[in-house]
Amino acid sequence: MDTATPESLFTPELMEWIKDNIPLLNSMEVSFDLFQQGELTISCPLEPNINDKGTAFGGSIAALATICGWLYTTLYARTRIEDCAAVIADSQMTYHAPGTGRISARCKSTVPEKFFARLSDRRNAKLDLTVELFSQVEEQESPVKIATYNGIYVAMP
Amino acid sequence: MDTATPESLFTPELMEWIKDNIPLLNSMEVSFDLFQQGELTISCPLEPNINDKGTAFGGSIAALATICGWLYTTLYARTRIEDCAAVIADSQMTYHAPGTGRISARCKSTVPEKFFARLSDRRNAKLDLTVELFSQVEEQESPVKIATYNGIYVAMP
């Protein structure tokens, strides 16, 4: 498994498996859009994630960020340990602006060598990630940054 | 409105309105259980909120905590300003243990006089709340604390 790249593990089969095992992602209509050059993007439409003000529900934004960081951790962990599990340990979110359109979460991070070294020793390995949340009403519009999330995840061989 | 108590505003009509306006709460099967002596309890079953490990999805726990604090803020704000809106500004969650049964969120806080004073002046008012998250497999069992959440909400007249 040492030669696997996280991009090569971002497969339709893994995405199907995630949706089969975390039903809330189907309610949210989450799509796993892209994992390219170390940046993961996932998104969901506004409608199933709307609130009383007609904007994105904070709980949906939190759930989208949580799964984005979790998937990022899982993909990198599995380059060393096949089927490695990951859990969320701690998170922090700052909300900047209401989300008025499709919501996306993006994660790109430098994964420290220590993370891989601990996994290779079959020890739990922490990853501290920033996920940025955006909203976009129309595809041609610039996305608006609506929240910044920080999550600490633990990969467990 | 000065004589309304937050408990008197915890009505079936308000709970219906919330569920009608935040559809994800229906997907999560959230129930608004109790608001008594200043303590709000809401909960949801494990099944629609499960993850790949057969325990509570962190995103569901975050969404439950978010709505618990939001409802708490809304109830207190509406004792001063009818139909007062509230938004989440910042949140922090520490996960302690996996949730293996029904998940509940509890919030009880001393609401500072400044919060009410600002609302009476029709100014935005911040509320800093702690929400504790529990899991319980069987009703007769003791609930296990699975996470601690801190949220800063803004009530907006």
Average pLDDT, chain B: 96
Q: Give the integer Cα–Cα distance in Å for A26 and A19.
A: 6
Q: What is the pLDDT of residues A139-152, one digit of tens each?
A: 778 999 999 999 99
Q: Give the integer Cα–Cα distance in Å for B136 and B109.
A: 23
Q: What is the pLDDT of residues B72-94, one digit of tens each?
A: 999 999 999 999 999 999 999 99
* Tokens describing residue B44: 């949801």
**Number of other CB atoms surrounding residue A92 within 10 Å:** 16
- Confidence category of residue B141, pLDDT binned at 50, 70, 90: confident
The chain A residue lying nearest B17, using CA atoms, is A52
- Residues 53 through 82 of chain A touching chain B, CB cutoff 8 Å: 53, 57-60, 62-64, 66-67, 70
Write the ipTM: 0.96
Query: Residue B18 is nearest to which of A17, A52, A53, comparing CB atoms?
Result: A52
Residue whose tokens read 């979790």: A70
- Residues 18 through 47 of chain B touching chain A, CB cutoff 8 Å: 18, 21-24, 27-28, 47
Q: What's the pTM value of the predicted model, to 2 decimals?
A: 0.96
Provide the shortest C-alpha distance from residue B69 to chain A (in Å).
11
Closest CA to A70 of B58, B49, B62: B58
Q: Is the pLDDT of residue B1 over 50?
A: no
Give me the half-sphere count of Cα atoms (radius 13 Å) on the Cβ side of residue A24.
Answer: 35
